[in-house]
Amino acid sequence: MNQISVEQARARCAEIDGADTEIALRSVLALDSDAVTRTARVERNDGLLRGVPVLVKDNIEAEGLPCTAGSLALRGVPIRGDSTVASRLRRAGAVIIGAANLSEWANIRSTNSSSGWSAVGGLVANPWALDHSAGGSSAGSGAAVAAGIVPMAVGTETDGSIVCPASLNGVVGIKPTVGSVPTDGVVPVSASQDTPGSLARTVDDAERMLAVLMDDASLLSRSALVDVSAVSVGVVDAWRTGDEATDALFDEALRYVKELLQKVSASQMIATPDDVRFDEYTVLVHELRSDLDGYLSARATNGAPSSVRDVVDFNRANADVELLHFGQEIFEMAAKSSGRTAGEYISARKRNLEWVHNNLDVALSKHDILISPAFMPAWKTDFSTGHPLAGGAVTSPAAIAGLPIVTIPMGLVAGLPVGLSLVGAKNSEAMLIALARSLEKVLGLVHDAEWHPRFIRPAPTQ
């Protein structure tokens, strides 16, 4: 494991992360000065992550940290204690030094949002090129790992929020099977699609953190026993990014895949139709109403927001900051919806599950793993246009189905990292990790001393 001390992590954060630093990465939203003491107080604190400084995304409750989801509406609202995620990290010996910045409300507030921005933490910069996006919504987790502030961090994913920052920041991201990691104390979007996961510099580090999050130490031994050469891989052309250079790099990576494996062939998996994406959107809007209302009402004290409607009203009252760059139309739709009881929700979720059963499940019945590029290179952040279409076709089918995705660095395009993603059936993390580790080795990137961000500043305007 690429170990650094807590003191080194704090020093690195002070050097490059704050708004008043030269680089101003803004990947860390808050620090806990008592982090070492909190871990020391835990009865079992000598496990897989002993002494490792980590960050948790600021939509995860951890004592000593704010858990604002990036929103001013939750600033100063007390948390209820350690989430299971935080508790498991401390029991494994990890030192939760801080909370990672994120796309506010995990990027579910507006269709025109800019990934990596929150009213509390500001805009996370991509450490490879500071005027480019660090992805969403686990932007701070990905950027902090890439920048060497911490060796690993926790992110969360509903649809793409670990895959995207892993790809754009040149790190490893593991989104596990939905339900394999508890979500108590995690600000929700959708119980059917939300999951915490790990981001780290290497597959081994990401696996170690995931084993802790899943409370499954056997993951390491199970992945080590996988005969990678016998794994059947399906290449999903329908999930290519559309960026010529990224897709060409993927073709180069496939040469290594074919050298490692005996069974590599084209998958017949189709692109996700617009009506399926719209149904997913409908599901997320309605589950947001039910799930976030439940979370906020359980946490609310002394007039704090207790519903999505309360947050909508708060944002309107604080529009000069909260609505400075984009609106809240998804929250407004959620506030007007009737949540999981709505007939349109029930129908949309049923259609979504039927589609993945008839397409993704069929594809995975013919191949153990599906492979594709993840995203195009990081785009320049532009608040006037929001999040562009930049690939990421791999994420939605797996999100709807609750399936795991492992993303690893694939190489550089125009000096910016791009990733390769592996999708498997439920609870196939050990097999995905085994193949990812083999590919990581033959690609030879993350263990190369040259594989690190350059913190390139924007060119001066004329």
Active site (catalytic) residues: 57, 137, 161
Exposed (0-12), middle (13-18) or buried (19+): which is 252, by Cβ within 10 Å?
exposed
Contacts of 298 by beta carbon, 8 Å cutoff, 6+ apart: 80
- Is 394 in contact with 444 (CB distance < 8 Å)? no
3-class SS at 162? coil
Does residue 232 have a cis bond before it (omega within 30 degrees)? no
Task: Classify strands 369-373 and 232-235 as parallel, antiparallel or unpaired.
Answer: parallel
3-class SS at 148? coil
3-class SS at 194? coil
In terms of Cα–Cα distance, which of 422, 409, 424 is closest to 199? Answer: 409
Residue type, 106: A
Query: In whole angstroms, what separates CA 23 from the centre of its chain?
Result: 23
Rounded CA gap, 184 and 162, in Å? 19
Contacts of 286 by beta carbon, 8 Å cutoff, 6+ apart: 334, 337, 338, 339, 340, 342, 344, 345, 348
- Is 174 in contact with 379 (CB distance < 8 Å)? no
Rounded CA gap, 105 and 303, in Å? 20
Write out the two tokens for 358: 């008839």
Contacts of 432 by beta carbon, 8 Å cutoff, 6+ apart: 174, 369, 404, 405, 406, 422, 423, 424
Rounded CA gap, 106 and 401, in Å? 19
Side-chain half-sphere exposure of 110, counting CA atoms within 13 A: 21
Rounded CA gap, 385 and 391, in Å? 16
Rounded CA gap, 328 and 104, in Å? 11
In terms of Cα–Cα distance, which of 73, 112, 131 is closest to 389? Answer: 112
Q: What share of the chain is helix, strand, coil (3-state, %, to 5)?
A: 40, 15, 45
* DSSP codes joined into one string, 51-64: T-EEEEETTB--TT
Scanning 225-318, the segments in alpha helix (DSSP H) are 244-260, 274-299, 308-317
